[in-house]
Every structure is written in structure tokens, then in C-alpha cells.
């Protein structure tokens, strides 16, 4: 999960195991909002990777990943933006 990371700041994200819902790691646990998500510095990555492994083992989440933030603290990549804010089309 960590090997290919570039950038300086990240959010820890995953899908909830039972629902599949996209979630972000906060100081109070997992949340579907990025508002309170912990901003993780590159040198803290290993610590949060361990947390994600632990949370996966507890069957809370699946498919954890780090989401890169830009200089303004917003999600950088389009895929991650869509993943956070939902589909961009009307049904």
C-alpha cells in the first residue's frame, strides 16, 4: 500500500467491510466524511498502515489506501475526488 506513494500529506481511506461504503480515518474512528479525517504526513505513513492492517483484521474495513492531498489540503487525484464526492452524473 505504501510502496508507490508520492506526495507529502494523505488521508487514510478504505471501504467499510459490511456495506462497502467509502470511509476515512479520523481520531474517533472511521467516518464517511473527510471533514475530520486525520491529515497524515509522509513520515507517519507506516504508523497508519499498521492501524489499517489492524482495522482490517478486526473486519471493520477492507481495501485500505492512502489518498494524496494537494498543497491546499484538498484531495489531489480525480479518481479519489470522485470516490469521495460520488458519481459525477445524474441517473
Partner 1 sequence: MYKYSDTDKKIIASRVKQFENQVNRRLEGKLTEEEFKPLRLMNGLYLQLHAYMLRVAIPYGELSSKQLRKIAFIADKYDRGYGHFTTRQNIQFNWPKLLDIPEILHELSLVDMHAIQTSGNCIRNISSDHLAGLTLNEIEDPRPWCEIIRKWSTFHPEFSFLPRKFKIAVIGCTKDRAAMMVHDIGLRIIKRKNQVGFEIFVGGGQGRTPIIGKKIRDFLPKKDILNYLEAILTTYNQEGRRDNIYKARIKILVKELGIEKFRSLVEENFSKLSNKELEIDDKSIKEIFGFFRLPPLKPNTNQMPFKKNQEYQYWINQNVIPHKIQGYSIVQISLKAPKKPPGDATSNQMRALAEISDKFSFSEIRVTHEQNLVLPHVSNKELFNLWNQLKIQNLATPNLGLITDTICCPGMDYCALATARSIPISQKISSHFNNYLKQEEIGNLKIKISGCINACGHHHVGNIGILGLDRKGQEFYQITLGGSAKEDAAIGEIVGPSFSKNDLIDAIEKILNTYKKHKINKSDDFLSVFRRIGIKEFKKDLYDNFTKKA
**Site for partner 1, rule CB under 8 A:** 15, 17-22, 56-59, 62-63, 76-79, 82-83, 86-91
Min CB(10)–partner 1 separation in Å = 16
Q: How far is the CB of 17 from partner 1 (least distance, A)?
A: 7
Residues facing 22 on adjacent strands: 15
Let me know: does 49 contact 2? Beta carbons within 8 Å: yes
Report the nearest approach of partner 1 to the CB of residue 43 (Å): 24
Cβ closer to partner 1: 7 or 44? 7
Whichever of 44 and 56 has its CB closer to partner 1, that residue is 56
Nearer to partner 1, 47 or 79 (CB): 79
Amino acid at each position: 500500500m505504501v510502496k508507490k506513494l508520492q506526495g507529502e500529506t494523505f488521508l487514510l481511506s478504505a471501504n467499510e467491510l459490511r456495506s462497502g461504503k467509502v470511509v476515512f480515518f479520523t481520531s474517533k474512528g472511521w467516518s464517511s466524511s473527510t471533514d475530520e479525517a486525520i491529515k497524515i504526513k509522509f513520515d507517519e505513513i507506516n504508523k497508519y498502515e499498521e492501524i489499517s492492517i489492524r482495522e482490517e483484521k478486526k473486519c471493520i474495513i477492507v481495501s485500505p489506501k492512502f489518498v494524496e492531498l494537494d498543497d491546499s489540503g484538498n484531495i489531489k487525484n480525480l479518481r479519489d475526488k470522485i470516490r469521495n464526492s460520488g458519481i459525477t452524473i445524474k441517473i
